[in-house]
Amino acid sequence: MKTNRKLTIICVLLCLSILNLTSFGVRAQSAGAIVINADGSVSGTSLIQHQGNIYRFMGNIQDSPITVLCCNIVLDGEGFSLQGADGWGTPGVAGLEDTAAIDLTCSNVTVQDFVISGWETGVAGAYDGNAVADNNISRTENAIAIYADNYIVSGNCLSDNIYGVYIKGSGNLVSQNLIAYNYCGIMIFPTLKTTVTKNNFTENGICFTLGTYEDFSYLIYDNNFIINLNTTIVSTNSDALGPTDPGTLPPWNNGSAGNYWSDYTAKYPNATQIGNSSVGDTSYLIRTDPTIIDRFPLMIPTLTQNANQTSSNQTTNANLSTAISRAGSPVSSQSTKSTSSEISLVAAASIAVALFIVVLAFRRKLFWLQEGSNPP
């Protein structure tokens, strides 16, 4: 009988172990701040594991903002979500989470492959020299907020936010992003040598908001602007013009190539392409007072390519709409992970039950042998 009891205990423990191991794949953490400390240690969660300078998410995290104090690391979301309390994304309406999902208080950090939604700010950086790449950020006030210099913002899908990218700094590069259906695509303040290139701007209410015109030096070229009748390409603050401002901003081109405008041929029906350059022979007037001109407007969409959206020289408005429907969902990149984890859990439970039945059958067989008779 002692043997029977031991077998039963072993079986139960084994079943519980299997179920516990498989539950790891679907668990999510909530509440409490998370810190990646200056010494490289992680506080506040067990769902961030690191090897060397690579820090990887191991599951979804909810309502737990992350502060990064450690320089020279890569923070990889592995496609998992960092979910806030929501409520953001509509101008004039405050959400429930008044902080940044990821706050970079250090340099040389790359934040990549996150699904971020429902925070006041998705990724905020006040220290120079960081990168934000291949993330899907939605329903925030500022998807990416930069208060420093020399950032690289690339390969992100930024949709349904108030501001896609908010910039107060110089030498920043915004490239290869899908910036779609935001109240404003990019809000930019005084900047030197900031470049915005090879992005898809799709039906934002406002493409750019300029905070002030003083000390502006930027390049905006090789972007696709898919606009509608309600789109404002450039908006300004009421106090933006200084008393000595000449009323003309830098042109939106690099000297040989400008941007693609979806309404170009409708606005300039007599425009023709210059040779095989893809450049139209009529400048595109973006706005007056102040005057902003694209002197080398492109007549076909420019080539862009990144992890969250795909387009080519044959890209059309319909293609870009398909891209946003595919990449814009805050849960789409996680659904495969969740489904596979659920299947693993069911499989493990089935194995545990089968094992328990086998042990019970063995106990019954052993009982009849001890009694000196055969089981019925």
Tell me the backbone φ, ψ of residue 12, rounded to 5 degrees: -60, -45
The domains of the chain are located at: 1-28+349-376, 31-330
User: 16-24 contacts: CB < 8 A, separation 24 or more?
Assistant: 18/348, 18/349, 18/351, 18/352, 19/345, 19/348, 19/349, 19/352, 21/348, 22/341, 22/344, 22/345, 22/347, 22/348, 22/349, 23/345, 24/58, 24/59
Concatenate the DSSP letters of all residues of 90-135 into one string: STT---S--SEEEEE-SSSEEEES-EEESSSEEEEE-SSS-EEES-
Alpha-carbon span 146 to 125, nearest angstrom? 5
Angle among Cα 105, 36, 81 to the nearest 5 degrees reads 95
Cβ distance 159 to 139 under 8 Å? no
Three-class secondary structure of residue 360 per DSSP: helix
Pairing relationship of beta strands 142-146 and 192-197 according to DSSP bridges: unpaired
pTM of the shown model: 0.73
Nearest Cα neighbor of 20 from 345, 338, 339 is 345
Alpha-carbon span 59 to 78, nearest angstrom? 9
**pLDDT, one tens digit for every residue, the chain (376 residues):** 555 555 555 544 444 444 444 434 444 455 589 999 999 999 999 999 999 999 999 999 999 999 999 999 999 999 999 999 876 666 655 556 678 999 999 999 999 999 999 999 999 999 999 999 999 999 999 999 999 999 999 999 999 999 999 999 999 999 999 999 999 999 988 677 889 999 999 999 999 887 655 556 778 999 999 988 778 888 865 433 333 344 456 778 888 999 999 999 999 999 999 999 999 999 999 888 777 889 999 999 987 665 454 433 333 344 444 433 433 333 333 333 433 344 344 444 555 555 555 555 555 555 544 555 555 5
Nearest Cα neighbor of 291 from 231, 224, 213, 195 is 213
